[in-house]
Copies of this chain bind each other. A is one copy, B any other.
Amino acid sequence: MFRTAELGRKVSKEEFEAVAPGLRIEILELQQKLRAADFPVVIVFGGVDGAGKNQTVNLMNEWMDPRWIVTRAYSAPSDEERERPEFWRYWRDLPPKGKTGLFLRSWYSAPVLEYAYGRIGENELTRRLDRIVAFETALADEGALILKFWLHLSKDAQKQQLKRLSKDPDQSWRVTDADWRHYEMYPQFIASAERMITRTSTGQAPWTIVEGENDRYRELAVLTSFRDAAQRHLQRRELARQTRDQLRQLAVAAPQAEPVQRVQPSILDTLDMSAICTKERADTEMPRLTAKLNALYRRAKELGISTVAVFEGWDAAGKGGAIRRITGALDARDYQVLPVAAPTDEERAQHYLWRFWRQLSRAGRITLFDRSWYGRVLVERVEGFALEEEWRRAYAEINAFEQQLTEHGVVVVKYWLHITPEEQLQRFHLRENVPFKRWKLTDEDWRNRDKWNAYESAVNDMIEKTSTGAAPWTLIPANDKRHARLTVLDTLCRRLKTAIAEAETSRSRKKSKG
């Protein structure tokens, strides 16, 4: 696989100087086009130490306008980072539309090195590489241009390069002890890289192997590849935009017939809407559950268990009130409530999951989402903001996102607060008539109400496709507010209790082993 990058390819000073000025202008012009484009560029650099990853990234920053470039190199995760799922830091740093991200020591470094060192086996390597493929596919599906360069040196060339740099007083700082240790492990490192490249070189995010020995050759090779790929991608995206427009027209011209299962009862029809809780019961239960939640969340915090709670439901179903019953049991330093409305400009320039990734809290905290990423398969689907292929793809993307949370030990609780159309109408009228509630009722609420059936279909599909063992939906009859709030509290308590018991068991198991 790497023999093609051990050919001693060279570009002479004269050749370089003949080509470089023209190429530099081309790339600057290209960057202007990319700034206006509706996608980000993600460029990953990997390779053998000494093959010139840093110099190449520096050159790109020098040749291009660095205001539109984000450069990142990751080392061991910080405390902040360790307390969140592994990919949190990569999501956080993704370039927005119009910008280019250059990633040195990226999401590939850890799996490649750990496999080379024998710390992880074949299965674990494959699992982690597949997670990377899913990550990159999600970005590419939303339009990102992803390029990955492997800068290569033969073992001999690496030795010479490290020696040369060590001798040069101006460059010797570039060579670390780790570089020499990696050199000793060259064969294992290369074998690991080969597996990595074979598994993760996809049509949408291919690896390009570049010989790193000659600086001028390497720089021209990377920059011309980048230029050609970016030009191709601009063309493709323009065609994709036309296709989107045509699909939208088709969708408007011939709205999808409701399939037969929609005429049928939905999962929401199975809820017992007569469920109520008397004031007397609420008066004893609510304080009891509040105290219980307080005790549980404090123990969870000690154990580093985070919670993500998602509140979805009809307009006026009582999401806000339910959230306040939870936060009433918590210390303000330990939670955040995130109301999800239309995305900001900054959020709109990113993958639709980005704004949720960025909000994940540190270990032990509770994050309450008042509406959530499920907007993709609810409002965006029903209102036609997302194309059918986009919201259909989203179920798998959402499951993958939540899986990263639950695998990291986060408790994911998802509530659907259900009210009947009649109850909603009553609440709307109440809001109209009570001055201090009037602001809560908007024209949009009335419009959404007209699409009740379409929303109900979407809710049914959402529950079918995203209620998983680790992150199940809890459907709550909410015509009676007391009943809804008690159920919300009780569910959270029970989920926390289970998670705490599991964490304590695995802790004591570790202790008895140690």
- A residues sitting closer than 8 Å to B (CB atoms) are 1-5, 7-11, 19, 123, 126-127, 130, 141, 191, 194-195, 198, 201-203, 206, 209-211, 217, 220-221, 224-225, 228, 232, 235-236, 239-240, 242-243, 246-247, 250, 256-257, 259-261, 264-267, 269-270, 388-389, 392-393, 395-396, 399, 403, 460-461, 463-465, 467-469
- The contact sample of 14 A-B pairs, CB cut-off 8 A, is A1-B465, A2-B464, A3-B267, A3-B270, A3-B463, A4-B464, A7-B266, A191-B469, A194-B469, A203-B393, A203-B396, A206-B395, A217-B260, A239-B246
CB–CB B1/A260 < 8 A? no
Complex Cα distance, B206 from A221, in Å, reads: 40
Cα distance, A247 to B434, chains bound together (Å): 60
Closest to A250 in B: B235
Shortest CB-to-CB span from A178 to chain B, Å, is 25
State whether A265 touches B194 (Cβ < 8 A): no
A264's partner among B217, B256, B392 (CB-CB below 8 A) is B217
Chain B residue nearest in CB terms to A225: B259
Q: List the 6 closest pairs (A to B, CB-CB), nearest first.
A: A203-B393, A4-B464, A9-B264, A220-B260, A4-B267, A123-B123
B198 touches A468 (CB 8 A): yes
CA gap between A224 and B212 in the complex, in Å: 57
Copies of this protein in the assembly total 2
Nearest B-chain residue to A200, judged by Cβ: B396
Q: Which residue of B lies closest to A239 (CB)?
A: B243
User: Nearest-CB distance from A293 to chain B (Å)?
Assistant: 26
A384 nearest CB across to chain B (Å): 15
Contact between A265 and B8, CB atoms less than 8 A apart: yes
Q: Are A392 and B206 closer than 8 Å at their CB atoms?
A: yes
CB–CB A259/B396 < 8 A:
no
Q: Which residues of B contact A464 (CB under 8 A)?
A: 1-5, 209
Q: Which residue of B lies closest to A220 (CB)?
A: B260
A206: chain B residues at CB < 8 Å are 392, 395
Q: Which residues of B contact A261 (CB under 8 A)?
A: 9, 210-211, 217, 221
Q: Is the CB of A239 within 8 A of B228?
A: no
